[in-house]
Chain A
Amino acid sequence: MRITRTLGPVLVVLTLAAAACLPGGQSSQQAAGGDGATAGSEAATEAGSESFEGQTLTVWDIYPRGAESEVVEQLNSEFEAEHGVTIEREARPLDDLKVQLPLALQEDDGPDVASVNQGQADMGTLVESGLLLDLSQFAEERGWAEAFGENLLERNRFTEDGSEFGTGNLYGVAPIAEVVGWYYNKAQLDQAGVEVPETFEELQAALAQLEEADLTPIAFGNSEGWPAIHTYGAVQHTYTDTGALDDFIFRRAGASFADDGSVEAAATVQDWAEQGYFTENFSGIGYDASWGQFAAGEGATMLTGSWISGELDQQDYGFFLTPGRDGELPPQIGGQGVPLAVRAGTDVPELAKAYIDWMTGERAAELWIEQGILPARVPESGAVEEGTLLADIVGAWDTVLEQNQLGHYLDWASPTMYDTLTSQLQALLAGRAEPQEFVEAIEADYTSAQ
């Protein structure tokens, strides 16, 4: 689509150089020249796209499931048709992919483009080992910072030696965005006479009121442990600001987790568990089962990420952000989804970059929205039907970006933080750890990773 005036000629030259080395390269070279000549005002674009003719791109992504996979398949086939290239796609869950990538990216026939998990343990290690291509220059040419927001791209940045997170070269950009907030069942809120809360105090009151109305205030399943990271993080975010959060996650000097807000947040979620606000027996219920129940009408709210929006009824459910203590919007957990990155040793770097640009472009945003999924590129207003769940989510996302209140997944703070948080939160919610002990355990992990 937007294959590029500036880059078109460069691509042609590159492809010609490559084609000259390959048997049969002659014909595609001629084809490229011929088409380019016929095309009037879009000549550069045409020449640019044609120049990939016959190339093959291997892509490993993390969208094996229903709606997401459909979008990717559709985008892939449009990309193939436009550029005359072949995409060899493999889709597997993130957990599998991240185990295989370090080895696969060292191979000459490894994936040219792959979904690479953010954070020090994954992307950081790959950068440190020189396995990912720096996309900074390309991002500048395409105006990614403007399209996605520089503070979002920051999370895909590392210094070249992989040692510093949140600064330096850019190694990826994601097709979809995520924001964690409160889904709510409109009928059940009405039934209990509860309005969408504007402050954290109102939220607390609403939960109590839902409980009194014999509803499950918060649909929750925590057998995997990570859903609680979002629950706790959202509450903890109401006690802090984006500056402190950035310092904490990017491990800047003097950052610490041990403050009153962290303790009070821990006390709050522990209280929610004790009050019976969460689904009964939540510790034995898996995440998928929990949103399945919520989608089937069990649970008045659910505090989780925008990624399940495609699975809920667009009319019956709404979405609001965690309200602040003073009514001002506190930081909200979210950011880009898992970014697509390019293997450093790829034979087709320009095609790979063009592919990422396409997967994160406007056409992609359109298709993601059709499936009820929040795209990373903020869509023009009017692209989403009013009154739907997705409209709520897109609106919330816009608000977060406008007010510059993007928070963080707390488990990025150290390579072992995911395990520490899941384990400690399970203890906290089971009443086996006091809020103070919980915070001390997190701080101990944080400082030991220095």
Chain B
Amino acid sequence: MTPAPSGHAGGGRWRPYALLAVPAAVYGTFVLYPLATTVRLAFYDWNGIATPVVTGVGNFVELMTNGRFVPALSHNAVFLVFYTVIPVALALLLTVLLAQDRPVGGLSVYRVGLFVPQVMPMVVVGVVWGWIYSPVNGVLAAVVEALGGEAAPYLGQVSTALPAVGMVASWVQYGFALVLFLAGIQRIDRTLYEAAAVDGGGRWDKLRHVTLPGLRSEIVVATVVSLIAAVRVFDLVFVMTRGGPSDSTNVVAYEIYRSAFLQREVGLAAAGATVMITIILALSLVVIRYGEQRD
């Protein structure tokens, strides 16, 4: 390493590190250390108070065989559809309808309107949707009955609870994706659409060859952010169903909470958290790599 050319003899060389020390300490204390501790605890049996006892991979074996964690994981997979696939697809569709090959008017209205669900705390969203879905004086039940249908306890039956919570997640997420895409599409050179039109391209060709490539980085961001949200979803489930009925909406994060704080099996919870972190990292890497390769 070359010594820094700046004036202060000796000081210059260490200065970048000195400046880094504070953020590094903060990051180390509040991110890396807890993360490392979590991973370490995954190999212990611990009730949160007494001395932890090493169990090796025992917690991971229990996760795979206790009949709770794997179903929870599969519910997260369903949430991927509601958190990522539906919102991104819907936002793309709306973007195309609203903005492809013409400038968007009144963009700030969309931004504010569609971003509101993002700004609302998820707990509030969950409580409000809980009312909407309620069979007692719920808005949805009233609408269904007005249309001649029969209202059902949407959050209370196994067949509908997971999609009912999932739709709320889609409602929250699509606004975020739409705002990203609307901003991104402004950057696409208008002349590309004109060129496509000259070449005889229709709407579909414009979408495939101009809009989608132009929005790639926004799509990657929206996908990564919503993937992470889907894997770690807790708040909506906690507020709306507590994992029920019959564990049909139980997800990994809720299972971790349950193990750590209700059953006092902190090691098991740490093992679950380790699995969750690994999945998030892996999915994010795949999506980001995929996005980069296409550039």
| Contact present for A285 and B136 (CB under 8 Å) | yes
Chain B residues proximal to chain A, CB less than 8 Å? 47-50, 133-136, 151-158, 241-242, 244-247, 258, 261-264
Report yes or no: A131 in contact with B49, Cβ–Cβ below 8 A: yes
Flag if B263 contacts A415 (CB, 8 Å): yes
- Decide: B153 and A283 in contact? CB cutoff 8 A: yes
B263 in contact with A285 (CB, 8 Å): no
| Known A121-B264, A416-B263: A281·B135 in contact at CB below 8 Å | yes
* Cross-interface CB contact of B156 among A102, A103, A283, A418, cutoff 8 Å: A283
Within 8 Å by CB of B261, from A99, A422, A427, A430, lies: A99
Cα distance, A223 to B258, chains bound together (Å): 18
Question: How long is the Cα–Cα vector from A59 to B247 in the complex, in angstroms?
Answer: 35
Whether the Cβ atoms of A223 and B156 lie closer than 8 Å is yes
Known: A121-B264, A125-B264, A225-B245. A430 touches B158 (CB 8 A): yes
Smallest beta-carbon distance A28→chain B, Å: 35
Residues of B within 8 A of A76 (CB): none
* A332 is an interface residue with CB less than 8 A from chain B: no
A423 touches B247 (CB 8 A): yes
A138 contacts chain B at the CB level, 8 A cutoff: no
Top 5 A-B pairs ranked by shortest CB distance? Answer: A284-B153, A283-B156, A284-B156, A281-B135, A129-B49
Give which listed residue, B157, B242, B247, B263, contacts A284 with CB less than 8 A: B157
Q: A113 to chain B: closest CB distance in Å?
A: 19
Asked if A260 CB lies within 8 Å of chain B CBs, one says: no
Which residues in chain A, 427-446, are within 8 Å of chain B measured between CB atoms?
427, 430, 432
CB distance from B143 to the nearest CB of A (A): 15
- A59-103 CB contact bits vs B (8 Å, 1 = yes)? 000000000000000000000000000000000000000110011
- Total contacting residues, chain A, CB less than 8 A: 34
Assembled-state Cα–Cα distance A424/B261 (Å) = 21
Q: Could you give, for residues 211-232 of chain A, a 1 whenever the CB lies within 8 Å of some chain B CB and a 0 otherwise?
A: 0000000000011110000000
Q: How far does the Cβ of B161 sit from chain A's closest Cβ, in whole Å?
A: 9
Whether a CB of chain B sits under 8 angstroms from the CB of A426 is yes
A298 (CB) vs chain B CBs: closest residue: B136
- With A280-B135, A419-B258 in contact, is A222–B156 under 8 Å at CB? yes
- Would A426 and B263 count as touching, CB distance under 8 A? no
Q: Is the interface of A mostly helix, strand, loop or mixed?
A: helix
17 A-B contact pairs sorted by A residue (CB < 8 Å): A99-B261, A102-B48, A103-B48, A126-B49, A223-B244, A224-B242, A281-B153, A281-B156, A282-B153, A283-B153, A284-B152, A284-B153, A284-B154, A285-B136, A415-B264, A426-B158, A427-B158
Q: Kindly identify which residue among B49, B134, B152, B158 contacts A289, using a CB–CB cutoff of 8 Å.
A: B134
Of chain A, the residue at the smallest CB distance from B250 is A423
8 Å CB contact of A223 from B152, B155, B158, B263: B155
Are B136 and A289 in contact, with the CB atoms below 8 A? Answer: yes
CA distance A432 to B161 in the complex (A): 15
- A422 and B262 alpha carbons, distance in the complex (Å): 14
Instruction: Provide the bound-state CA to CA distance between A440 and B136, in Å.
Output: 34
Q: Are A426 and B50 in contact (CB under 8 A)?
A: no
What is the CA–CA distance of A281 and B153 in the complex, to the nearest angstrom? 5
Inside 8 A of A106's CB, which chain B residues have their CB? Answer: 49
Contact of A426 among B48, B49, B244 (CB under 8 A): B244
- Complex contact B49–A430 (CB within 8 A): no
CB closest chain-A residue, reference B152:
A281
Distance, CA A223 to CA B165, complexed state (A): 14
Q: Any chain B CB within 8 A of the CB of A268? A: no
Chain A CB within 10 Å, residue with most, of B50, B136, B152: B136
Query: What residue in chain B is nearest A103 (Cβ atoms)?
Result: B48
Which residues from chain B contact A430 at a C-beta distance below 8 Å? 157-158, 245-246
Given A283-B245, A285-B136, A423-B244, check contact A121 B157 (CB 8 Å).
no
Contacts of A426 on B, CB cut-off 8 Å?
A: 158, 244-246
Within 8 A of B (CB), among A110-143: 121, 125-126, 128-129, 131
Chain B contacts of A55 at CB under 8 A? none
Asked if A121 and B263 sit within 8 Å, CB to CB, the answer is yes
Q: Is the CB of B247 within 8 A of A281?
A: no
> How far is B158's CA from A282's CA once the two chains are assembled, in angstroms?
13
Whether A285 and B134, one on each chain, are in contact in the complex, defined by CB atoms closer than 8 angstroms, is: yes
New contact pairs (20) apart from A129-B50, A225-B244, CB-CB < 8 Å:
A98-B261, A102-B48, A102-B264, A121-B263, A121-B264, A125-B49, A282-B153, A283-B156, A284-B155, A285-B153, A289-B134, A289-B136, A416-B263, A419-B258, A422-B244, A423-B244, A426-B245, A426-B246, A427-B158, A430-B245
Chain A neighbourhood of B134, CB < 8 A: 284-285, 289
**Is B155 in contact with A432, judged by CB distance below 8 angstroms?**
no
**Chain B CB within 8 A of A293 CB:** yes
Kindly identify which residue among B156, B158, B246, B247 contacts A285, using a CB–CB cutoff of 8 Å: B156
Contact of B244 among A224, A282, A416 (CB under 8 A): A224
Q: Mark A260-290, 1 if CB is under 8 A from B, else 0.
A: 0000000000000000000011111100010
Contacts of A223 in B (CB 8 A): 153, 155-156, 241, 244-245
In the complex, what residues of A have CB within 8 A of residue B135's CB? 280-281, 284-285
Which residues of chain A are near B152, meaning CB under 8 Å? 281, 284
Chain A residues lying within 8 Å of B156, measured Cβ to Cβ, are: 222-223, 281-285
A125 touches B153 (CB 8 A): no
Residue ID in chain A nearest B138 by CB atoms: A284
**Binary per-residue interface labels of chain A (226-261) against chain B in the complex, 1 for a CB within 8 Å, 0 otherwise:** 000000000000000000000000000000000000
Task: Find the A residue at minimum CB distance from B164.
Answer: A284
Whether A121 contacts B262 by the Cβ 8 Å rule is yes
Bound-complex Cα distance A293 to B157 (A):
21
Docked complex Cα distance between A289 and B262 (Å): 25
Chain A residues whose C-beta falls within 8 Å of the C-beta of B157 in the assembled complex: 283-284, 430
Q: Scoring A residues 193 to 206 as 1 if CB is less than 8 Å from chain B, else 0, what string do you get?
A: 00000000000000
Q: How far is the CA of A283 from the CA of B159 in the complex (A)?
A: 12
Closest chain A residue to B255, Cβ basis: A419
B78 CB, min distance to chain A CBs, angstroms: 18
Most buried by A among B49, B133, B155, B158: B49
> Which chain B residues lie closer than 8 Å to A422 at the CB level?
244
Give the Cβ gap from B211 to chain A, nearest Cβ, in Å: 42
Distance A15 CA – B136 CA, assembled complex (angstroms): 57
A126 to B242, CA, bound (A): 25
When chains A and B are docked, how far (Å) is the Cα of A156 from the Cα of B152? 42
**A281 touching B158, Cβ below 8 Å:** no
Q: Inside 8 A of B49's CB, which chain A residues have their CB?
A: 102, 106, 125-126, 128-129, 131
Whether the pair B50, A128 counts as a contact (CB closer than 8 A) is: yes
Residue numbers in A under 8 Å from B258 (CB-CB): 419
* Cβ–Cβ < 8 Å partners of B241 in chain A: 223
A99 to B153, CA, bound (A): 30
Rounded to whole angstroms, the CA-CA distance of A115 and B205 in the bound complex is: 67
Closest to A418 in B: B262
